[in-house]
Chain A
Amino acid sequence: GQNIDQPTEMTATEGAIVQINCTYQTSGFNGLFWYQQHAGEAPTFLSYNVLDGLEEKGRFSSFLSRSKGYSYLLLKELQMKDSASYLCAVMDSNYQLIWGAGTKLIIKP
């Protein structure tokens, strides 16, 4: 079966750095996506990786290793507004998105 694993919850301190991991087993791979979802709101697109390596976008970076079935989202200079759930999703061989359950990130002052 297809599976996306990410930690259920993480806590970090304002101003610090946090890394949210995602491992996947899917039938085929056509890209990995990270979304941010604030409580009670819709998910919003953060990043896309299809080749191995690091993609940087401001305070957020996303890394992919296809051979290891692994990705991480790195958030730097954490701000209180970064408190949200972070969803990892993989596009399979049928171009369907398979979603992880999300990681709830709690930022403490």
Chain B
Amino acid sequence: DADVTQTPRNRITKTGKRIMLECSQTKGHDRMYWYRQDPGLGLQLIYYSFDVKDINKGEISDGYSVSRQAQAKFSLSLESAIPNQTALYFCATAGQGEAGELFFGEGSRLTVL
């Protein structure tokens, strides 16, 4: 089984719908991240969390929210999805003191019609 698991792997939805992407990890890492990846662009950080009580906005947090339910779980929500949120979303984790060595989930491909 993968150390960082994302669900769903693929989702097609309509404009205005609420969507939740879930991430769980078995690596025991405190740091968790949500990124989106668009063709021709670098990975863009949406939100990150260094522990259960610590949530921080990334560079593109507008239109997104997150929940850190436990050390191992970090969910990303789109309250009202719009077409330009169509992208590949990655969850990632990192150990303390190893903030640059990220372990990524397999990705969630979201299409908003």
Chain A positions near chain B (C-beta within 8 angstroms): 4, 8, 30-31, 33, 35, 40-45, 48, 87, 89, 91, 95-102
Contact = CB atoms under 8 A, between A and B. Distances in A.
16 contacts: A42-B104, A42-B105, A42-B106, A43-B104, A44-B104, A48-B100, A87-B42, A91-B100, A95-B99, A96-B45, A97-B45, A97-B102, A98-B42, A99-B43, A101-B40, A101-B42
Contacts of B47: none
Contacts of A44: 104
B102 A43 contact: yes
B90 interface: yes
Interface of B: 40-45, 58, 90, 99-107
B104 A33 contact: no
A30 B103 CA distance: 19
Nearest to B42: A99
Contacts of B103: 45
B76 to A, nearest CB: 16
Given A42-B90, A42-B107, A102 B102 contact: no
A45 to B, nearest CB: 5
Contacts of A102: 42
Given A41-B106, A42-B90, A48 B42 contact: no
A43 B42 CA distance: 12
A97 B106 contact: no
A28 to B, nearest CB: 13
Nearest 4 pairs between A and B by C-beta?
A99-B42, A42-B104, A99-B43, A33-B100
B96 to A, nearest CB: 12
Nearest to A6: B42
A76 to B, nearest CB: 23
B54 to A, nearest CB: 14
A78 to B, nearest CB: 24
